[in-house]
Amino acid sequence: MINWPIEIKQNKYTRWYEALIVKAKTRDPLDGYKEKHHIIPNSLIKNKDVVELTAREHYVAHLLLWRMDMPPKWHNKMSMALHVMVNGSGHKKQDRNYLVSSRIYESARVSVITAMKEYFAEHGGTMTGKKHTAESLEKMRAWQNVPEIKQQQRERILGEKNHMFGKTHSEEMRKQISESVAASWNDEMKEEKSKWLTEQWQDPEYKKKMIDIRKNSEGWLNRDWSTANKKAAETRKRNGTDKRTPEQRKKMSDIRKARLASGEIVPWNKGLKGGIGNPKIWEVVDPNNKIFIVTDGIQKFCKQQGISYDTLGALAKNTPSRNKLRSAGWKARILPKN
């Protein structure tokens, strides 16, 4: 007899299960393929009491556990265990091929769905009221940053695999999405998010990391900042969010000029774009292999060629990021001055 940690009523399934376990314990060691099975499932109580079963015996054992008369909470766990065994969990060690009758499959499937509905109705979700630990969050970030994992996740939604491939949201759906987001993003959430971001940006390491990511991104390098700033100003004016008066703007400008003159602050692009009186010498090769030696200002050259100065600068510095000019066949470098 098995010393069960929960109340299990004796029926034919219980007797058959115990007979299977006795057989596994008393026979000679199995040859060939075999699987380890916890006599008392780990979901009932953690233990190391295992026996070796053939694949067929292992399936029958879980089928019998599911058929036993036990309290609903534990019966639901047995339903899930059978479901994983029959359908697989995605783990290579569980890529088994059991032949299950349609009647048993349907009954087991309905049982596990019912168990899941009862669980979520009671708990509201597996993470409701809980938070991941700092260690768990770090593990998830590290896993998501693995290049192979990133590529796998990207390939899952590329092209026709994307559920929105070749489709667009209707105006009505866009309005619904906008209203839903606006309703969920209340003042309390905005204040909480703002406070969190403020605390994050006070950390010098976090600030440097985020600025480096931003400045090395393709969007940052290829952006037309003059047009972007004008568009942002027009949007603020149109929405009425820019409430600064001309006097306030002039005051802010004078303060910034004074701080620059005193050396209290330094322009973010200082040293990146050579001074007017001492321009750098550039060697630029276009996609047709035509070589240009630029000595009178690279910005003027970029304007004539219709290319971005920032993108060309990143190309010359061999910044490790996607670069449209590099993809188009451009080459650039800054020549040493003699």
Residues 252-274, mean pLDDT to the nearest whole number: 74
Residue 143 scores a pLDDT above 90: no
Residue 99 scores a pLDDT above 70: no
- When pLDDT is cut at 50, 70 and 90, the band that residue 126 belongs to is low
Name the nearest CA neighbour of 274 among 251, 252, 300, 308.
Answer: 300
Alpha-carbon torsion 106, 111, 113, 114, what sign? positive
Instruction: Give pLDDT, residue 279.
Output: 63
Name the nearest CA neighbour of 69 among 6, 122, 120, 123.
Answer: 6
Q: Which of the two residues, 222 and 203, has the higher pLDDT score?
A: 203
Residues 47-54, mean pLDDT to the nearest whole number: 88
Residue 213 scores a pLDDT above 60: yes
Residues 305-325, mean pLDDT to the nearest whole number: 83
Instruction: Give pLDDT, residue 90.
Output: 47
Instruction: Give pLDDT, residue 98.
Output: 58
Residues 279-283, mean pLDDT to the nearest whole number: 81
- When pLDDT is cut at 50, 70 and 90, the band that residue 277 belongs to is very low
Instruction: Give pLDDT, residue 15.
Output: 92
> Are 66 and 108 in contact, with CB atoms under 8 Å apart?
yes
Angle (CA) 33-39-40 rounded to 5° is 140
Instruction: Give pLDDT, residue 13.
Output: 93
Angle (CA) 296-299-300 rounded to 5° is 60
The 3-state secondary structure of the chain, one letter per residue: CCCCCCCCECCHHHHHHHHHHHHHHHCCCCCCCCEEEECCCCCCCCCCCEEEECHHHHHHHHHHHHHCECCHHHHHHHHHHHHHHHHCCCCHHHCCCCCCCHHHHHHHHHHHHHHHHHHHHHHCCCCCCCCCCHHHHHHHHHHHCCHHHHHHHHHHCCHHHCCCCCCCCCHHHHHHHHHHHHHHCCHHHHHHHHHHHHHHHCCHHHHHHHHHHHHCCHHHHCCCHHHHHHHHHHHHHHHCCCCCCHHHHHHHHHHHHHHHHHCCCCCCCCCCCCCCCCCCEEEEECCCCCEEEECCCHHHHHHHHCCCHHHHHHHHCCCCCCCHHHHHCCEEEEECCC
CA dist 314 and 307 (Å) reads: 12
Q: What is the pTM of this model?
A: 0.36
Q: Phi, psi at residue 214, to the nearest 5°? A: -65, -45
CA dist 79 and 102 (Å) reads: 16
> Are 284 and 332 in contact, with CB atoms under 8 Å apart?
yes
Q: Which domains does the chain have, with CATH numbers?
A: 12-123 (no CATH), 281-335 (1.10.10)
> Are 17 and 65 in contact, with CB atoms under 8 Å apart?
yes
- Where do we find the tokens 């929960």? 6
- When pLDDT is cut at 50, 70 and 90, the band that residue 22 belongs to is very high
Q: Which of the two residues, 107 and 28, has the higher pLDDT score?
A: 28
Average per-residue pLDDT for the chain? 81
Residues 122-148, mean pLDDT to the nearest whole number: 80
CA dist 78 and 207 (Å) reads: 49
Residues 161-183, mean pLDDT to the nearest whole number: 87
